[in-house]
Amino acid sequence: MTKLKSYLQDSVLNKLYNEIRAAGSIRSISVDLTHVCNLRCKGCYYFEEGMDAINVPDEKAFDEFILNEKERGTNFVTIVGGEPSMVIPRIKKVYDNFKCNVATNGLIKIPNEGLENLPIGISIWGERETDAALRGNGKRDLFGEALKNYKNDSRAFWYYTVAPGYANQIEKVVSTCIENGNAVLFNYYSDLSGLGNKHDYKAGFDEVRKEIDRMIEKYPDKILMTPSFNKVISEGKLFDESWGYEVCTNLSTNHESNFERFDNGNPYNPHFRAYNADFSSTRRCCTGVNRDCDSCYDTWEHFSWVMVNLKKHLNSKEDFTNWLTTMYLFYFINRLVGQDGETNMIDIQNVLKQKTDIVHHQQVYV
């Protein structure tokens, strides 16, 4: 019996694994739906690297893009920008042709009608004053506006980007989001604007990680994160690998700058492309043109890093459980599994707790 088969003798792990298999493999891309945004956030990768400097296409080009990607076999699209909510008809076209999610600043409400099953990640960067200072020049209550737009919207979750020096704000922000009827997924601030001090990723995310773990414990049904995945992102370590370009898995496979990377033996997503807002050209990766990958703590990129590295997670049942729950979490957030109500975040956290308890018990009595 292979290790994988032995681990799947566990009925709970078997259930999660088979739900993922039933949902099918993901052949994903990301696309900037527009080069326009109604904000200029400090540290936004999009404008820091001039990704808006493109030739603006007509709608025919977008329609052709949809057709071309369907023919290529794409079945999942991460919708970014610019600000996608400024071109809602394009969101609808993507939604009607692919499984997808969308990232938004939350200031323009994405309607429910016709987009009932769209996962919506809403940006938040701290308490109201911190968020306004980083994203709205201190002049606008962005958090308050987005809370109102997505109150009790089951499609919506908060994509909470935390800087190293703001761990003390996490609980207040999380409780506000949960009271609004939404779940929370965490991200980590890269400080591409060079603000330094409390914003500097080089200071490390130890305190942020600990506080996120505490939120997972306190709100297991509302935090879209597991302790093991939190550790991978915040420390940039996956077993013997350290995060960086040489191991990044979401790189445009048709971009010449990546060809040497694909030959180094490390796994990558063989279908992925990060399309610019001209709907034809691609860039190096989702969040970068020339940026130093050491600054990338992007949660979605790290999801992929874990997901394509199943082999590294087969040495123990504990490692496999970490891989499986991370994989399931990605599918769950994107509404690919768990929509029958039989599995929820508490179930996922309980799987990890049982695994941790078993390992601890073995260590005590060995």
pLDDT (tens digit per residue) in 6-55? 999 999 999 999 999 999 999 999 999 999 898 888 888 887 778 878 88
The pLDDT of residue 365 is 35
Residue-level pLDDT at 334: 97
Class of residue 21 by CB neighbours under 10 A (exposed 0-12, middle 13-18, buried 19+):
exposed
pLDDT tops 90 at residue 101: yes
For residue 361, what pLDDT is reported? 36
Pairing of strands 28-32, 76-80: parallel
pLDDT of residue 359: 42
pLDDT, residue 358, reads: 43
DSSP annotation string for 124-165: E-SSHHHHHHHHSTTSS-HHHHHHHHTTT-TTEEEEEEE-GG
Convert the pLDDT of each residue in 195-229 to its tens digit: 999 999 999 999 999 999 999 999 999 999 999 99
**Beta strand ranges found along the chain (DSSP E):** 28-32, 76-80, 99-104, 120-124, 156-162, 183-188, 237-238, 241-242, 274-275
355 pLDDT band, cuts 50/70/90, is low
The pLDDT of 109-116, averaged and rounded, is 98
Question: Residue 162, exposed/middle/buried by CB under 10 A (0-12, 13-18, 19+)?
Answer: buried
Mean pLDDT of the chain: 93
Condensed to tens digits (0 to 9), the pLDDT of residues 125-172 reads 999 999 999 998 888 899 999 999 999 999 999 999 999 999 999 999
Residue with tokens 């990680």: 209
Torsion of CA 241, 349, 297, 30, to 10 degrees: 100
Per-residue pLDDT at 45: 82
Ranges 133-147, 277-291, 345-359: which has the least confidence: 345-359
Among 51-65, 108-122, 229-243, the range scoring the smallest mean pLDDT is 51-65
pLDDT band at 330 (very low <50, low <70, confident <90, very high): very high
Q: Counting runs of H as helices and runs of E as strands, what totals does the chain give?
A: 14, 9
Q: Quick check: 297 pLDDT over 90?
A: yes
| Confidence class for position 339, pLDDT limits 50, 70, 90 | confident
pLDDT of residue 49: 79
Domain ranges, ordered by start, for the chain: 27-314
pLDDT, tens digit, 9 for 90 and up, residues 222-267: 999 999 999 999 999 999 999 999 999 999 999 999 999 999 999 9
State both tokens at 301: 């990129």
Asked if pLDDT for residue 364 goes beyond 70, the answer is no
Note the pLDDT of residue 356.
52
- Out of 3.40.50.1820, 3.40.50.1000, 3.40.50.2300, 3.20.20.70, the CATH code matching 27-314 is 3.20.20.70
pLDDT score recorded for residue 39:
84
